[in-house]
Amino acid sequence: MDKSEFLPSIILHILLDKLLATNAFFLIWIFIGYARWRFYLTFSDVEIASWVVGTHGADTGVGVGRKGI
């Protein structure tokens, strides 16, 4: 195999490897973020969790969405 055939094949492999590493990094980052979010919510109070999702005070209308803030 001469140099003209070797370079394109190795460049393609390097690019695919970098793409795979980048995708794996972001998938792991998203998964860890989700796991931390679920972990924090297990120790949170019901009122705090309802405030996070925007349903705090839904029966009174206070604090629902951005209007009550």
pLDDT digits (tens, 9 = 90+) for 4-36: 777 777 888 999 999 999 999 999 999 999 999
Domain-located, residue 44 = yes
Model confidence pTM above 0.85: no
Domains contained in the chain, number: 1
Domain-located, residue 65 = no
Q: What is the mean pLDDT of the chain?
A: 75
Q: How large is the greatest C-alpha to C-alpha distance in the chain, in angstroms?
A: 77
The predicted structure's pLDDT at residue 60: 53
Domain-located, residue 48 = yes
The predicted structure's pLDDT at residue 1: 58
Helix (H, G, I), strand (E, B) or coil at 31: helix
Domain-located, residue 38 = yes
Domain extent, residue 19, equals 3-53
Domain-located, residue 14 = yes
Domain-located, residue 64 = no
